[in-house]
Amino acid sequence: MTTVRFRFRNWLILLLCTLTCASGISVAQVNYNQRDDKYRLLGLKRAKEAFEVAKRDYERQNGLFGKGLISQIELDRSHNVYSDAEVNYQQSLLAVLFEMQFVTVHGAVKYQSPDGSKWVRLTLANTSGGGEEFQKLLGIEDRLFRSLQPDVISYVYVSLANQEGAVISQPYEAKVERLRFGSPKELRFQLLQDLDAVSVNLIYGNGTTRSMKIFLQKDKSANKVLVQSQQFSQEGELGTSATYDLTLELFSAANSTFSLEVINLPQQINRLFRDVASNARLSQFKFTEASNSRRAALEVTLPDRPTEAVPMDSAIAFYVLVVPTDRSGEILSKVNTRWALADIERLEVGYVRLELVPRGKGRLIVKAPQLYHTVRPGESVEATIDILNEGTRRLDNVQVKVDAPLLWGKDVVPTIIPSIDIGEEKRVTIRATPSDDASVGRYELRLRTSALSDNEPVNAEDKTLTVEIAAETNVWGTALLVVVILGLVGGMVIFGIRLSKR
């Protein structure tokens, strides 16, 4: 009787184990839902429950196998169910972790280094916070979850691009090996193109990409306005103006109103500042919250003649300062002082060094007292012209060329004038001889005057010399004609007197 009861109990346990194993398989299969791919967090809950059920079942089956109550095949079947549930759980967990990873830009500050290059200080943060949130939501405290490091995003690639998508940063792309939740990372990029807004391109996780167009903050710790000029060195002809473009960027939180000042520029050179947009004259300007950048222009006017303070062909170095309005008195009180670079740097204000090279150019003026001459056949004409240099540089190799009719003789004295100083006048004599077969009439000769000024050609306005060849006059015939006319007149007078007496 006891043996029968023992066999019955073993048969019942075996039946229950078989049903439990079958139920584990069904649980592992039934727990999958097609919508888990869309609602991954709910799918993770489902996978976690299936994994725990399969794990308990496997542990129970393993105990029964140790007691010899189930076969190896049944234990392997339970282990397969457990392994599938574990893989499903891991995949669901990884899917949720990758989906919830998020990298954001906490800060992007633009600043200028001492050598004048522009940089961006970029701060990245892992804002997914997967660790604590998932653990509270799912009650996960296992070794698998900790080994996956949900609070760490690995291999974050960062680059800066302009509006057209071209990378404008150096390095072109930066790599962050590990970005941990709560521990932002700071990266530094040199700007290859000076912009106020850039696109931050991010690639991280399992290929997630983000691109944000952000406006760069200014490093207000500098507490100054940075000023730059692309046309920092120019040549200006005496008597004309030169214009320097100025780009102003605010890097200050204490001031927003500034004055523009020029130092080390000779007083003989006039200067004024203009607003580029309105062309209005500037003495002060103000930055607004909406704009931390301004554009201005400095216009300088050179005197008509070189002076000791404004020598030709010598570079004049000067500075433009951007000074807070409450400190402009420091500059105005020393307006006639020659500032050294060290003195300017001690002011701790924005400045830019500019350079102006005065240049001159000769100007030819030809003055002719008489441009109309009458000669008889066989005679020569002689004319004089005065050449004046009304420019701002000496004229060299001054030459007058005469375009005369065919076979005419021509002579210019002097042939070449070596030089004519500023304001100096030289006289040139021109002799032209008509050809032997030149008929009576009017002829024109063109006078062309050229010179060199600083190895550049200078031409004067052409002059036209008119020569009229008059016909020969017969003296005896003219005298006879006069006698005949006088005789006729006398005869008429005598005839009239006699007629009146009758």
User: pLDDT, tens digit, for every residue of 364-380?
Assistant: 999 988 899 998 888 89
Between residues 112 and 160, the one the model is more confident about: 160
CATH number of the domain at 238, please.
Answer: 2.60.40.1510
Residues 266 and 349 in one domain: yes
Residues 151 and 263 in one domain: no
Concatenated DSSP letters of 192-223? SS--SEEEEEEEETTTEEEEEEEEPEE-GGG-
Cα Dmax for the chain: 211
Residues 350 and 283 in one domain: yes
- Domain boundary (332, 359, 386) is at 359
The CA-CA-CA angle for residues 161, 165, 167, to 5°, reads 40
pLDDT given for residue 30 in this prediction? 41
Q: For 290-302, what is the mean pLDDT?
A: 86
pLDDT given for residue 403 in this prediction? 94
Q: For 216-241, what is the mean pLDDT?
A: 83
Please, what is the average pLDDT of the chain? 81
Distance CA 104, CA 123 (A): 9
Residues 133 and 181 in one domain: yes
Residues 272 and 314 in one domain: yes
Does residue 487 fall inside a structural domain?
Answer: no
* Percentage of residues in the chain having pLDDT higher than 90: 31
Number of structural domains in the chain: 4
pLDDT given for residue 81 in this prediction? 86
Containing structural domain, residue 20? 2-100
Does residue 501 fall inside a structural domain?
Answer: no
Between residues 351 and 47, the one the model is more confident about: 351
Residues 128 and 229 in one domain: no
CATH number of the domain at 398, please.
Answer: 2.60.40.10
At 443, the pLDDT band (50, 70, 90 cuts) reads: very high
User: pLDDT, tens digit, for every residue of 27-85?
Assistant: 444 444 444 555 555 666 777 778 788 888 888 888 888 888 888 888 888 888 888 87
User: pLDDT, tens digit, for every residue of 83-137?
Assistant: 887 777 776 666 666 555 778 898 898 888 877 788 899 999 987 755 555 555 4
- Domain boundary (73, 100, 127) is at 100
pLDDT given for residue 339 in this prediction? 87
Q: Report strand pairing: 118-126 vs 284-286.
A: unpaired
Does residue 484 fall inside a structural domain?
Answer: no
Q: Residue 330 — φ and ψ, nearest 5°? A: -65, -35
At 477, the pLDDT band (50, 70, 90 cuts) reads: low
Residues 107 and 204 in one domain: yes
Does residue 459 fall inside a structural domain?
Answer: yes
Does residue 325 fall inside a structural domain?
Answer: yes
CATH number of the domain at 181, please.
Answer: 2.60.40.150
| CB under 8 A, 24+ apart: contacts of 411-417 | 417/387
Instruction: Put the strands of the sheet holding 293-301 in their side by side order.
Output: 224-228, 241-251, 293-301, 270-275, 281-282
Residues 174 and 90 in one domain: no
Does residue 499 fall inside a structural domain?
Answer: no
pLDDT given for residue 99 in this prediction? 55
Residues 328 and 427 in one domain: no
Between residues 212 and 112, the one the model is more confident about: 212
The closest alpha carbon to 46, from 95, 99, 80, belongs to: 95
User: pLDDT, tens digit, for every residue of 262-284?
Assistant: 999 998 999 999 988 888 888 88
Residues 237 and 118 in one domain: no
Residues 234 and 329 in one domain: yes
Does residue 398 fall inside a structural domain?
Answer: yes
pLDDT higher than 90, residue 446: yes
Residues 66 and 187 in one domain: no
Does residue 410 fall inside a structural domain?
Answer: yes
- Domain boundary (324, 359, 394) is at 359
pLDDT given for residue 14 in this prediction? 41
pLDDT given for residue 290 in this prediction? 66
pLDDT higher than 70, residue 244: yes
Give how far Cα 397 sits from Cα of 306, 412, 423, 436, 478, Å.
22, 14, 16, 33, 52
pLDDT given for residue 147 in this prediction? 52
Chain CA centroid to CA 48, Å: 58
